[in-house]
Amino acid sequence: MRRALTSPLLPIIFIVALASVIEFTGPRWLLPLENRVADLFVRIHARDLQPDPDIVIVDIDDRSLAQMNDSAGSWPWPRAVHGELIAGLSRQHPKAIVFDILFAEPDIYRPESDELFNDAVRQTSNTYFPIVRRNIAEDAHGIMLAEYGAALGITPTAAAVPDARVALLLPLAVARASWRTGTINFIEDKDGIGRRYNIFTPAYGWRIPSLPARVARDLGYPVPDAASIVLGWRGATLAHKRVSYADIHEDLDRKKPLRDASEFRDKIVIVGTTASGLHDIRATPLSSLTPGVEILAAALDNLKNSRNMRSLPETAPLLLTLLLLAILLAAFSTRRNTLLIGAVLLPISALLLGASYLAVSRQILLPVFTPVAFAWMFYFAAALSEYLRERKAREQTVRIFNRFLDPRVVKDLVSQGATTENLSGQARQITVLFSDIRGFTTLSEIHTPAEIVSLLNRYFSMQVEVIFRHGGTLDKFIGDAIMAFWGAPGEDNQQAEHAIAAALEMAANLERFRHEIGEIGQTFDVGIGIHSGPAVVGFIGSEQRQDYTAIGDTVNLASRIEGETKGVSRILVSAETKDRCADRFDFVGHGFFKVKGRAQEVELFEPKKKP
């Protein structure tokens, strides 16, 4: 059965949906967590992938710094050392020699070393050097792009400012004619993790290429027309093939080199450092201690093999969030068990996270953590609201039904989920009992109102206890009469038997009560009428007050039967009631009676306990 959308859910869904829109269009508070989930998936996938073997790192590692200290001195080494490396590598015809070392200033103490270095560079056409985009606040004192742009590979767009200046850290130790450059700026997200690499840096309508983009474009690899890419990683932190700088330097000094003469043929050779003392480490999805040269290698690997990560449109996560919220709202708008909704949401969340995990293997970033987080946020808020609503309904049910039922029966009903809502307007087969006091008018004439009320309260309490004990529902007190019924709100397949058993015990209680009250009990008597049949049972009344009651011809006939007891029998039941439990009691027939509202006469019986 469906229900109208409960009002507490409307503000909840509005607040959560609004928060999700703000999140995806504004501050992105959950983005760090989203990124960490993606980082985990990327890291897991990367372990089983091998980086491009044609990208090789000549590593200035700790061993190189120690081993070359005698021949090259302490770091930084004379640039002639790098010149020798360039010359040696060039003989093997690599695709590119890419330095991840800044040559920002000429060596004023060893100019001849710089000259040897530049001589080696001039002999090549595929040696690349890094530049660094400095703080934008320093641009006023930077270089004129119109003057230096062509040498640095910086290209203007239609919106280029002709006299723009940009602060760049240039390779001033390298002859200008040999400048093949690009930026190596590290891009970190708000959480300090570097996940992207620039393709170009925009500046006043000019595009400053990154070093990987410059190399890739010169080598004929497709370069995305985007400012940056999200890096796709392969392998662990130090995954790319690496050769110690010291090993190559030592082999170049040998008259008969021992290393393979084609070791670097057609390779992209990156010269950089992993030495701990040079502090060129960054935080990436793979590790918080990723060497900068490894990041540069990953960027080149991505461009060479088109392995950068791709993202869905920015609207996709928001649409997914709203879809999940709509599904949950629909679920909560029906009488679904809250735990069942959570049990369904759990595998859906796992499925989405699994899809995100698999998408990473295809270089696709599928951000689902934030949509799932908002879905669970709404679920817990809605579940709490539903719990409070249901608790209030249970308390109301207990409070109301305690007036009509034995508290033990009320407890069972509530445990089965009964509420004032789902127990209204039911068509049921019930057995109705009416009990009216005889001689009440005479009692009222000879006793004070206070005495009459006290008397009735004692009598009613005694008889209601009997009705409850036999599983009956107290409908109401009508003046000096009691109306009760069996078969609702709980099912009772022995309702007729229970009603008659209650009536017989009520008759026995009456005798004890008459004895207790003494002389005034001589005129105190009751008549009890019972009938079984269909009726409508539920809460009936105004918005201010409702009672759980039964209505219909069955109720009217039970009342009429009670009226026929006078001068006949203290208890009379209809044939319909007798037939339901004929084997449980003895019945004395009293013939047919003409009752008000019935065209046909009604046969009535007096029940007695079996001997």
Based on the structure, what is the number of domains in the chain?
3
Q: What is the mean pLDDT of residues 404-430?
A: 65
Q: Examine the fold and report which residue of 284, 308, 332 is the final residue of a domain before the chain moves on.
A: 308
In a domain, 298, yes or no: yes
The one-letter amino acid code at 274 reads T
Q: How confident is the model at residue 400 (pLDDT cuts 50, 70, 90)?
A: low
Residues 210 and 111 reside in one and the same domain: yes
Cβ burial, residue 221 (10 Å; 0-12/13-18/19+): middle
Give per-residue pLDDT as tens, 313-344.
Answer: 989 999 999 999 999 999 988 867 889 999 99
364-365 and 310-311 strand pairing: parallel
Amino acid (1-letter code) at residue 26: G
Q: How many alpha carbons lie under 13 Å from residue 133 in its C-beta half-sphere?
A: 22
User: DSSP secondary structure string, 376-399?
Assistant: HHHHHHHHHHHHHHHHHHHHHHHH
Domain limit, last residue, from 256, 287, 308: 308
Residues 6+ apart with CB under 8 A from 563: 436, 527, 529, 595
User: Which pLDDT score, from 0 to 100, does residue 380 have?
Assistant: 95
The answer on 302 and 207 residing in a single domain is yes
- Looking at the structure, do residues 154 and 285 belong to the same domain, yes or no? yes
Confidence label for 479 from pLDDT (cuts 50, 70 and 90): confident
Q: Decide if pLDDT at 1 tops 50.
A: no
Residue 3 lies in a domain: no
Which residues 6+ apart lie within 8 Å of 283 measured at CB?
188, 192, 193, 194, 289, 290
Q: Of the candidates 308, 334, 360, which is a domain's last residue? A: 308
Specify whether 54 is located in the same domain as 13.
no
- The CA distances from residue 516 to 195, 502, 508, 520, 524, in Å, are 92, 20, 13, 10, 12
Spell out the SS3 assignment of 505-520.
Answer: HHHHHHHHHHHHHHHH
Cis-peptide, bond into residue 156, ω within 30° of zero: no
Residue 103 lies in a domain: yes
Do 410 and 366 share a structural domain?
Answer: no
Residues 302, 340: one domain? no
d(CA 404, CA 410): 9
Distance CA 412, CA 49 (A): 61
356 assigned to some structural domain: yes
**Average pLDDT for residues 285-296, to the nearest whole number?**
96
- 304 with 338, same domain? no
Residue 541 pLDDT exceeds 80: no
| Residue 589, domain member (yes or no) | yes
Q: Give the CATH number for residue 576.
A: 3.30.70.1230
Backbone angles phi, psi at 274, to 5 degrees: -120, 5
Phi first, then psi, for residue 578 (nearest 5°) are: -60, -45
Residue 134: partners with Cβ closer than 8 Å, 6 or more residues away: 142, 167, 168, 169
User: Closest by alpha carbon to 270, among 307, 240, 250, 228?
Assistant: 240
Helix/strand/coil for 55: strand
Note whether residue 4 is domain-resident: no
- 145 touches 166 (CB < 8 A): yes
The identity of residue 340, as a single letter, is: L
pLDDT at 192 over 60: yes
The CA–CA distances, whole Å, from 248 to 82, 87, 258 equal: 11, 12, 10
In this structure, are 475 and 562 located in the same domain? yes
Q: Identify the pLDDT of residue 4.
A: 46
Q: Cα(20)–Cα(325) distance, rounded to whole angstroms?
A: 10
**Identity of the residue numbered 593:** F
- In the chain, the N- to C-terminal Cα span, in Å, equals 49
Residue 424, pLDDT above cutoff 70: no
What is the predicted pLDDT for the residue at 438?
81
Residues 6+ apart with CB under 8 A from 145: 154, 156, 160, 164, 165, 166, 203, 204, 206
Q: How many residues does the chain have?
A: 611
Q: Are residues 85 and 226 part of one domain? A: yes
Q: What is the pLDDT of residues 245-255, one digit of tens each?
A: 999 999 998 98
Output the pLDDT for position 591.
Answer: 93
- Tell me: do 285 and 178 sit in the same domain: yes
Q: What is the DSSP letter of 256?
A: S
Q: Which residues of 450-463 are buried (b: 16+ CB within 10 A; e: fewer)?
A: eebeebbeebbeeb
Whether residue 524 lies inside any domain: the answer is yes
What would the pLDDT profile of 580-603 be if each residue is shown by its tens digit? Answer: 999 999 999 999 999 887 888 999
pLDDT of 392 reads: 76
Alpha-carbon span 353 to 112, nearest angstrom: 60
Going through 445-595 in order, the beta strands assigned E by DSSP cover 473-478, 481-486, 525-541, 546-551, 571-574, 585-593
The reply to whether 259 and 218 lie within a common domain is yes
In a domain, 272, yes or no: yes
Q: In terms of residue numbers, what domain contains 66?
A: 47-308
Q: Longest C-alpha distance within the chain, in Å?
A: 139
pLDDT of residue 406: 57
Q: Which of 165, 168, 131 is nearest to 145 (CA)?
A: 165
Q: pLDDT by residue (tens digit) across 116-142?
A: 999 999 999 999 999 999 999 999 999
Cβ distance 375 to 13 under 8 Å? no
Report the alpha-carbon angle 501-507-513, nearest 5: 135
Among 175-179, 196-200, 384-388, 418-422, the least confident range? 418-422
SS3 410: helix
- b (16+ CB within 10 A) / e for 365-404: bbbbbbbbbbbbbbbebbbebbeeeeeebbeebbebbeeb
Kindly tell me the burial class for residue 192, based on how many C-beta atoms sit within 10 Å of its own C-beta (0-12, 13-18, 19 or more): exposed
Do 282 and 323 fall into the same domain? no
